[in-house]
Amino acid sequence: MRISKGYWIWGLFPSKEIVFLNEIKAKVQSKLKSPFFETHITLAGPYLNIDNIFLNKIKDFAENNSVIILNNHGYAFKQEIFKSFYISIENSRQLKEIRRNIYELNNFDLGNNYSPHISLSYGNHEIKAKKEMISNLPKLNQPIRMSKIALAEVDEDTNLWKILEIFDLN
């Protein structure tokens, strides 16, 4: 069962990558309409509640972890609302390790068939439109740096994706 309301740990990107990713996302959303959400990669969650102890653990975690490089597998899509159209990210050893370390801070469903991605559009869109969209987007031949982690509040029922705290990776 999908939990639609809770708190999640997201990975965020430095300015140069955000500008590039947001340009792509804007182009995608001009054709594949979507609710607004910040550009991110989901790392961990959901957590049904959080407290200051957990926030301090996340802050310490960020201070003791470095920027990581995310290799991408290009654009992809599924017939799922929250994986409608996205950039597929390699589930690398480094990404698995950072998730395992976050799990140690406060458990979440670690074995939930994690499929790392950077969403570009949420919603129910036609496959034909998605295939057409891919041919109109720039090639993704550079890795993407993840330089921050964030705590986000999510309520999919009301289309809320709100960043509460951001922590720079060391």
pLDDT value at position 13? 98
Q: What would the mean pLDDT of 13-40 be, rounded to a whole number? A: 97
pLDDT at 75 over 70: yes
- Tens of pLDDT, residue by residue over 109-120, are 776 689 999 999
Q: What is the pLDDT of residue 109?
A: 73
Residue 32: other Cβ atoms inside 10 A: 21
Asked whether residue 24 carries a pLDDT value surpassing 70, the answer given is yes
- Residue 161's region, left for phi above 0, alpha for psi from -120 to 50, else beta, is beta
Burial of 143 (0-12, 13-18, 19+ CB in 10 A): middle
Domain boundaries, the chain: 5-168
Query: Given this model, what pLDDT does residue 113 score?
Result: 81
Contacts of 145 (CB under 8 A, 6+ apart): 13, 14, 17, 67, 68, 69, 70
Model confidence at 55: pLDDT above 70: yes
Mean pLDDT calculated for residue range 30-52? 95
Q: What is the separation of C-alpha 131 from the centre of its chain, rounded to a whole number of angstroms?
A: 22
Mean pLDDT, residues 34-42: 96
Q: How high is the pLDDT of residue 1?
A: 67
Q: Which helix (H) or strand (E) holds 63?
A: helix 52-63
Which residues does 91 contact at the CB level (< 8 Å), separation at least 6? 114, 115, 116
Q: Which CATH number describes the domain made up of 5-168? A: 3.90.1140.10
Q: Which residues make beta-bridge pairs with 8?
A: 152
| pLDDT confidence band for 107 (50 / 70 / 90) | confident
Condensed to tens digits (0 to 9), the pLDDT of residues 85-103 reads: 999 999 999 999 999 999 8
Total-model pTM: 0.94
5-12 and 160-168 beta bridge pairing: unpaired
